[in-house]
Structure 1
Amino acid sequence: MPPAPLTVAAVQAEPVPGDVAGNAATAARLVARAAERGARVAVLPELFLPAYHPPALRADPAGTDVVTAEDRTVDDPRLEPLRAAAVSGGVTVVVGAAVRHPDNRRTISSLVVDRGGAVRVGYDKQQLWGGERELFDAGDRGATLLVDGWRLGLGICYDGCFPEHGRAAAADGAHGYLCPSGYLAGSEHRRDLYYAARALDNTMYVVFANSVGGAEPWRFNGGAAVYDPEGRPLARGADAGEDVLVATLDPAQLAATRAAHSMLADRLRDLGPARLSLVG
């Protein structure tokens, strides 16, 4: 178990399509709000830096991407306000970006801005949804972020729709699962079900961030949330409007939940060589 509680923030906000510098400044303002409320980790939505807006991402890849070096570090002056906010607030930031890799792959990724201001690519989305496949390449591995003794699995939006993705994080020892996302208006039922289920499936906390606003057909529905290890919301945003949702992850609650609901310990590693087919 982690040594102490960890306060986290799930952010919902509306980025401007194509404006990486402006959206980084918005992210910095929201991170400062999270820090004022005691958050040590802040999670912002999927593709927040360029905005989840396929026409802009298609029209200006050079302007909407951030470039990573071979060691997955990012040195982009447009991110300076966000780096400064992470340092001044003592907050580790997870924020969505479009990333161009040295081999020219383009991924939907989560950048991690640490409390010293260093920026690196933390995770590349593995499960691409719909038209994302026309613009991006899929990641090829999972990732776990270590913060203050907490192991936090990283996912992005559609990843969280697959039980095995969250389970892989739990199998790696995750105490929580961070999911920057971009859920469109009309998907509220699925938005509220998937991430609560990933929490309960794996008896781990889940931090879900989402965009709001935007013009049809790219209008997003908020509902940012932090779920406890039984899938109950500790904090949840409305379907519209900017918000910073703050909650504290408690190792005692995590331990108690895992003692009472021992799915991780009880799960079978092998369900057998084949399934039986029965005729009724």
Structure 2
Amino acid sequence: MKIAAAQLTSVPADVPANTRRMADLAGRARDRGAELLVFPELAPTGYEPEAVRARRDLWLSADDPRLDAIRASGVACVVNCAAPSDRTRAGDGSGDGGEDGERPVIGTFVFGADGELITSYRKQHLFEHEREVFAAGRSDGRFTLGGLRFALATCFDNHFPELVARGADDGCQVHLASSLYGTGGGVDELRTVYPNIARTHGMYVVVANHVGPAGAWTGCGRSALWAPDGAPLAQADAESTTVVVADVPPGHAGPGPA
């Protein structure tokens, strides 16, 4: 199957504007034959933890109508966003997101080509300041689509080898990462962490990254797909809003059980 990784510059705390951009990218991916598209971390709001903490209307549930255009794009999509925890429902208006003692999670929703929710995942390893805003997830994310088994991870998750290894041991052939890596050291991390995951576990690896301003960071772009030997299959540049697409054979099997 053809798998795509997106990169974009999100408008800070503007869900309608960003979901329109994401739907446009989904259409581009679909037109290039992609069956699955991965978006960057917190793409619907931009990487704006302080805004997310202050405004519960920035928290998205899987059935939020603001995601309708993405769900209707005709391509399966991996959407990472601020999401309510089990004990918190997303509100419609602005206000203090922590008023009832609850925090959102950095959640991933996987929607099928027909818009159905296939699975969800919550980032388990929060990075520094994220711990002040978000609650951590406790369960791994897996799903099967198009004859392939996929593992989910979000940015800092990918720096914990045991999390990645669990996916490989569970028979996952493709590792999907919604991320934010900035200019400078983030470029080196992209060039080393993800090809190493591919080589170590014999998995295809897909990373979707921000490009341009992203909260306190500047996303370095370079969304990419790597083969199980660590060789790059496709990689975006450091400037464009775009999608990159590569073929992943359904018959591929990594070192874990089928």
When normalised by structure 2's length, the TM-score is: 0.89
Which residue of structure 1 lines up, in the alignment, with residue 60 of structure 2? 66
- How far, CA to CA, are the matches of 1:39 and 1:50 in structure 2? 24
Q: Give the 3-state SS of the residue equivalent to 1:214 in structure 2.
A: strand
Q: Give the 3-state SS of the residue equivalent to 2:34 in structure 1.
A: coil
Q: Give the 3-state SS of the residue equivalent to 2:40 in structure 1.
A: coil
Opposite residue 108 of structure 1, the aligned amino acid is I
Q: Which runs of structure 2 are paired with 1:160-179 in the superposition (5 Å)? A: 160-179=158-177
In the alignment, is the contact (CA less than 8 A) between 2:12 and 2:215 conserved in 1?
A: no
Q: Give the 3-state SS of the residue equivalent to 1:26 in structure 2.
A: helix
In the alignment, is the contact (CA less than 8 A) between 1:97 and 1:110 conserved in 2?
A: yes
Deviation at 1:219, TM superposition (A): 1.3
- How far, CA to CA, are the matches of 2:214 and 2:29 in structure 1? 27
Greater share of helix: 1
- How far, CA to CA, are the matches of 2:31 and 2:161 in structure 1? 34
Q: How many residues align?
A: 242
Q: Does 1:97 align with 2:81?
A: yes
Opposite residue 82 of structure 1, the aligned amino acid is I
Q: Give the 3-state SS of the residue equivalent to 2:72 in structure 1.
A: helix
Select which of 102, 126, 129 maps to 2:127.
129
In the alignment, is the contact (CA less than 8 A) between 1:53 and 1:218 conserved in 2?
A: no
Which residue of structure 2 lines up, in the alignment, with residue 189 of structure 1? 188
Which residue of structure 2 lines up, in the alignment, with residue 156 of structure 1? 154
Q: Which runs of structure 2 are paired with 1:44-59 in the superposition (5 Å)? A: 44-59=39-54
Indicate the percent of aligned positions where both proteins have the same amino acid. 37
Cα gap change, 1:183 to 1:45, in 2 (>3 Å)? same
Select which of 145, 148, 152 maps to 1:147.
145
Select which of 9, 21, 24 maps to 2:4.
9
In the alignment, is the contact (CA less than 8 A) between 2:148 and 2:250 conserved in 1?
A: no
Larger Rg: 1
- How far, CA to CA, are the matches of 1:19 and 1:203 in structure 2? 38
Mean Cα deviation higher: 97-106 or 190-199: 97-106
Cα gap change, 1:143 to 1:102, in 2 (>3 Å)? closer
When normalised by structure 1's length, the TM-score is: 0.82
Which residue of structure 2 lines up, in the alignment, with residue 213 of structure 1? 212
Superposition RMSD on alpha carbons, in Å?
1.7
Deviation at 1:216, TM superposition (A): 6.8
- How far, CA to CA, are the matches of 1:121 and 1:137 in structure 2? 19
